[in-house]
């Protein structure tokens, strides 16, 4: 089982962001939230931890929002609570997300002493023009300084890079990647998604900011892939690259459909089928209340994990599980079992598939048109 902890606080919302995060929250609200988050950890521990099923936890991921925004002692308290309530696997991957402007040496030291062994930094771009356009509050200089500082504390260091930004060019992206891989052995490279209703979407719609075309973004991604591969990075997922086996074990668990507990406002949980008094006879997915105040109330009024009010509750049928195996598995270099895909589709898309024993995966060309392929594959249900 994996555990995700959501810290929904930010100093400022980025222009592209539609995540469940909130800026400029009071210290009182943050305190109330963290108090209930620790309570949810205890309730989950009663069910799945040492006082319940004693399910082994293989990874912990503290994400946001901006986890590095809050006091480092609060992070230590959360991890101590999880360690007290759950059985943590030896060598478990424990990751925290951080943004350059809020990361300090004091925080890095505290994270390391709290058994964090992987840090993921939200760099997004090394172009000050791009950073300003998307509403980030750090600059290139700060990002590189904090990466250097983080590297002195964590060997397992990752960063996020976003492509398809207003000032992106093949030359700029190549330079960004070549600079970042001097510090990290893992890179998450995401294509900008223009979410409806965000400030950036409004600016683009009004013609105040222009973005690269879809074809240009494909070319930019090809630059990323070529540079990283030249320097020994494996593309183990459509947007993720690792050197020396430093892939994100936590995220890989999502793509291979491992169980996970999502703790905190808006966090998603996935539980395999259980036949008990809660009648979880089917694989189940649900999320916590999105709003901070709604989340706080939902945790306050119960004494059992399964009494917490949830949103987006899904009981997964076998057809839905099949679709997920295809949709998630083909994102990765691990691929899916060959028998899950009908032979006619293997032949139709032969130039996009790579055979790996009894499994098949998409090649680089296949990953670039993955969504179109999935539309066909997910129409077929294996009998």
In this predicted structure, what is the pLDDT of residue 276?
59
What's the Cα-to-Cα distance from 362 to each of 75, 192, 250, 310, rounded to whole Å? 39, 22, 22, 36
Instruction: Identify the segments of the chain with pLDDT beneath 70.
Output: 275-281, 379-383
In a domain, residue 24? The reply is: yes
**Domain boundary, last residue among 228, 253, 278:** 253
Residue-range definition of the domain harbouring residue 142: 2-253
On whether both 242 and 342 belong to a single domain, the answer is no
Which pair of structure tokens corresponds to residue 210? 């222009």
On whether both 141 and 226 belong to a single domain, the answer is yes
In this predicted structure, what is the pLDDT of residue 169?
97
Query: Which class for 102: exposed (0-12), middle (13-18), buried (19 or more C-beta within 10 A)?
Result: middle
Cα 186 from Cα 21, distance rounded (Å): 25
In a domain, residue 171? The reply is: yes
**Domain boundary, last residue among 253, 269, 294:** 253
In this predicted structure, what is the pLDDT of residue 279?
60
**Domain boundary, last residue among 253, 270, 289:** 253
In this predicted structure, what is the pLDDT of residue 274?
75
In this predicted structure, what is the pLDDT of residue 281?
67
In this predicted structure, what is the pLDDT of residue 278?
59
pTM: 0.94
On whether both 181 and 48 belong to a single domain, the answer is yes
pLDDT tens digits along 276-286: 555 666 899 99
In a domain, residue 282? The reply is: no
In a domain, residue 312? The reply is: no
């Amino acid at each position: 089982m994996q555990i995700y902890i959501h810290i929904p606080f930010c100093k400022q919302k980025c222009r592209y962001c539609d995540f469940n995060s909130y800026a400029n929250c009071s210290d009182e609200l943050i305190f109330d939230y963290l108090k209930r988050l620790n309570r949810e950890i205890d309730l989950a521990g009663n069910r799945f931890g040492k006082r319940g099923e004693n399910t082994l936890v293989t990874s912990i991921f503290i994400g946001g929002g901006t986890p590095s925004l809050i006091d480092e002692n609060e992070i230590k308290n959360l991890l101590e609570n999880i360690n007290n309530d759950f059985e943590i696997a030896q060598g478990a991957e424990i990751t925290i997300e951080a943004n350059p402007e809020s990361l300090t040496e004091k925080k890095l030291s505290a994270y390391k002493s709290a058994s964090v062994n992987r840090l993921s930094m939200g760099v997004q771009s090394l172009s000050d023009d791009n950073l300003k356009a998307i509403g980030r509050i750090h600059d290139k200089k700060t990002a590189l300084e904090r990466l250097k500082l983080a590297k002195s504390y964590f060997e397992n260091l990752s960063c996020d890079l976003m492509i398809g930004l207003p000032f992106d060019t093949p030359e700029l992206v190549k330079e960004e990647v070549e600079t970042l891989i001097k510090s990290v052995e893992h890179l998450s490279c995401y294509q900008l998604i223009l979410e409806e209703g965000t400030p950036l979407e409004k600016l683009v719609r009004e013609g105040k900011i222009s973005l690269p075309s879809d074809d240009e973004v494909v070319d930019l991604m090809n630059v990323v892939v070529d540079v990283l591969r030249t320097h020994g990075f494996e593309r183990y997922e459509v947007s993720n690259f690792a050197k020396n086996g430093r892939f994100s074990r936590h995220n890989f668990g999502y793509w291979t459909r491992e169980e996970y507990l999502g703790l905190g406002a808006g966090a998603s949980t996935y539980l395999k089928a259980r036949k008990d008094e809660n009648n979880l006879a089917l694989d189940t997915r649900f999320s916590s209340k999105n709003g901070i105040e709604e989340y706080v109330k939902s945790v306050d009024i119960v004494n059992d994990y399964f009494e917490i009010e949830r949103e987006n509750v899904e009981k997964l049928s076998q057809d839905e599980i099949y679709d997920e195996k295809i949709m998630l598995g083909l994102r990765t270099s691990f691929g899916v079992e060959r028998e899950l895909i009908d032979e006619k589709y293997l032949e139709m898309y032969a130039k996009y598939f790579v055979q790996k024993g009894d499994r098949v995966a998409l090649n680089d060309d296949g990953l670039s048109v993955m969504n179109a392929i999935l539309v066909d594959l997910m129409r077929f249900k294996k009998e």
